[in-house]
Amino acid sequence: MKFCKKYQEYMQGQENQMPGVGFKKLKKILNKCRRDVQSKKHLHGHGAFLDLQSCPRHCPVCDGTFFPSLLKEMSDAVNCFNERAQKLLELHLASGFRKYFIWFKAKLQGSHIALIQEGKDLVNYAMINAIAIRKILKGILQVHYSKQGQAFRSQAQSMHIEIFQSPWLCELMAFHVNLRETKAISGKAPALFEGCYLTFNDGKPFLSCELFDSVKLDIDLTCSICLDTVFDPVSLTCGHIFCSICASSAASVTIVDGLRAANPKEKCPLCREAGVYEGAVHLDELSILLRRSCREYWEQRLKKERVERVRQAKQH
């Protein structure tokens, strides 16, 4: 089965309709572009050189319709995913009366089972939409030579509308591994999504997920500043993950002040993008997973962190 058909069947089969990518609509726009190019060839005569497989560097159809449409659909998909994933994880991490209040407000039924299924559905949704967008870009950018077309991927990354950049995808993956381990400890049969797991390669941790079309997502959990496993991890808005204290140091702020106090001009140590600290997300599910999986390291690092936090608090 072709991916386009598989994707359409998946999106139509959802109980709760979520935004996706309109393959057919986008294909119609491209076909119109090619027809316009072909008509221009006839106007210029058969001797004129025009590649019918590609549109010109300045294309009013693609630049004015196709890329804005795709940009909006990508933005709608990642915003919907982030919102639902954030609510789900907030519910999982809540305790006491607050947890029951959120359950009642969200109108979720079946407690733990509903939580698991919702998380599984969101990971599936994120993966298949990320693959759909990649396939569209791969097919389009091979034949599209407009300036906007060449800059489109960079634009999407700078707007943080690629689902693979979302910190909530990393949190959902850790959420599934945490639930699986909790079920294994309790001795109950796991009714979980098995595609997410934590692996160690030469002592370095990776959070991995395998799904549609044999696509595998590997998230490196080594902090590129201290070169250790991320401790109290945070994800900057560009998608890069660091230890909270390392990120604070890179942003020239103390732990007491927090990353929101960072100057907007401060840049990510990896990609050098500015303004990525204010919207940073603390990865609580990932922190729980690493604390369980790297107990000795976590305890040693916790002692060091406490000393440093006390020192910064006194200076502050």
CA 153 to chain centroid? 15
- Cα distances (angstroms) measured from residue 73 to each of 18, 86, 302: 11, 20, 42
Q: Is it the case that residue 290 has pLDDT exceeding 90? A: yes
| Full-model pTM | 0.78
- Compute the distance between CA of residue 314 and CA of residue 316 in angstroms, rounded to an integer: 5
- Compute the distance between CA of residue 13 and CA of residue 197 in angstroms, rounded to an integer: 27
Q: Is it the case that residue 176 has pLDDT exceeding 60? A: yes
pLDDT band at 73 (very low <50, low <70, confident <90, very high): confident
Residue with the bigger pLDDT between 159 and 233: it is 233
Q: Answer for the pair 301, 290: CB distance below 8 angstroms, yes or no.
A: no
- Identify the pLDDT of residue 133: 80
At the topology level of CATH, where does 221-315 sit?
Herpes Virus-1 (3.30.40)
Only one residue has tokens 């407690």, namely 111
Mean pLDDT, the chain, rounded, equals 78
- Phi, psi (rounded to 5 degrees) for 39: -65, -35
- Identify the pLDDT of residue 141: 60
- Identify the pLDDT of residue 241: 96
Q: Is it the case that residue 174 has pLDDT exceeding 60? A: yes
- Cα distances (angstroms) measured from residue 252 to each of 208, 264, 266, 268: 32, 11, 8, 12
Domain boundaries, the chain: 1-43+53-180, 221-315
pLDDT band at 225 (very low <50, low <70, confident <90, very high): very high
pLDDT 10s digits, 26-65: 767 767 776 766 666 555 554 444 444 455 566 676 777 7
Residue 195 neighbours by CB distance under 10 Å: 18
- Identify the pLDDT of residue 284: 93
pLDDT 10s digits, 106-139: 555 445 677 777 888 888 888 888 888 877 776 6
Residue with the bigger pLDDT between 286 and 164: it is 286
- Identify the pLDDT of residue 314: 81
One DSSP character per residue, the chain reads --HHHHHHHHHHT-SS------HHHHHHHHHHHHHHHHHHHHHH-TTS---TTSB-SS-HHIIIIIHHHHHHHHHHHHHHHHHHHHHHHHHHH--HHHHHHHHHHHT--SHHHHHHHHHHHHHHHHHHHHHHHHHHHHHHHTTB-SHHHHHHHHHHHHTT--GGG-HHHHHHHHHHHHHHHHHHHHTPPP---TTEEEEEETTEEEEEEE-GGG-EEEEE-B-TTT-SB-SSEEE-TTS-EEEHHHHHHHTT--TTT-GGGS-TT-B-TTT--BS-STT-EE-HHHHHHHHHHSHHHHHHHHHHHHHHHHHHHHH-
Picking from 125, 153, 123, the residue whose alpha carbon sits closest to that of residue 138 is 153
Q: Is it the case that residue 267 has pLDDT exceeding 90? A: yes
Give all strands of the β-sheet with 196-201 in edge-to-edge order: 196-201, 204-210, 216-220
Q: Percentage of the chain surpassing pLDDT 70?
A: 72
